[in-house]
Amino acid sequence: MAKVTQVSEPAKGVKAWSWSVLQQYETCPKQTYYSKIEKVQVPKAAALEKGIKIHAELEEALRDHSRPCPDLAMPVEVELERLRMHGAVPELEAAFDKDWSPCDWFSPKCWLRVKIDAIVPPVIDDEHPTATLVDWKSGKVKQDHTDYDDQLELYQLIALLIYPTAERAESSLIFLEHGVVLEGEHPMTRDQIPAMKEKWEKRVKPLLSDGVFAPRPSAFACKWCDLGKAAGCEYAKG
């Protein structure tokens, strides 16, 4: 009689991370399971649709300087003009493997993906060539600005990896409708790269090694969890 061997299904998990996926996982691993493993679809909220529209308009405004500042971004028109003046490049996608080397966005080796709203390349003739990564924000500003420190730090690291000629990197989050610009407290320099890589590798390890994705119930978060409601999560039925 032939020997029968049951081949087990490969464990499902997240292979590549981004800032938004990491944030989602640290809020509730089950959300990440629904969105990245089960591919649960939810209708786009009006606020998200508005954000997509204004991002597209800002991209065009950076490509074509004759275009006016979008109406919804008028509170930060000065920032848009400053980015134009410094040659900001809009809408880049960067991907890296586990060794932090650049790779294709869809490569099976892809470990980190970053979508960049705008980046100012370093000027080689400057005394300290600096790359600046910018992220547009169409939502509200949190009262505690320290909540944004990690994102600003990660974006500084990414800027240094994209531009090897940059001696240092800066980053900023621009809240379009509120006229608020948040910047990293200090520029990041190339000598900080090894420590920053180690820090982020350690932080994302739970996400990339998780095979369970246990829910992390929260009265407030579960109440507004569209993913959980669409997937039938027992904690998101309120």
Taking alpha carbons only, the member of 136, 147, 149, 146 closest to residue 175 is 136
Neighbours of 157 (CB within 10 A): 21
pLDDT tens readout for residues 100-153: 999 999 999 999 999 999 999 999 888 999 999 999 999 899 989 999 999 999
CATH architecture of 19-231: Alpha-Beta Complex (3.90)
Output the tens digit of pLDDT for each of the chain's 238 residues.
455 444 444 457 999 999 999 999 999 999 999 999 999 998 877 778 889 999 999 999 999 999 999 999 999 999 999 999 999 999 999 999 999 999 999 999 999 999 999 999 999 888 999 999 999 999 899 989 999 999 999 999 999 999 999 999 999 999 999 999 999 989 999 999 999 999 999 999 999 999 999 999 988 889 889 999 999 999 987 5
Cα-Cα-Cα-Cα dihedral sign, residues 111, 115, 116, 121: positive
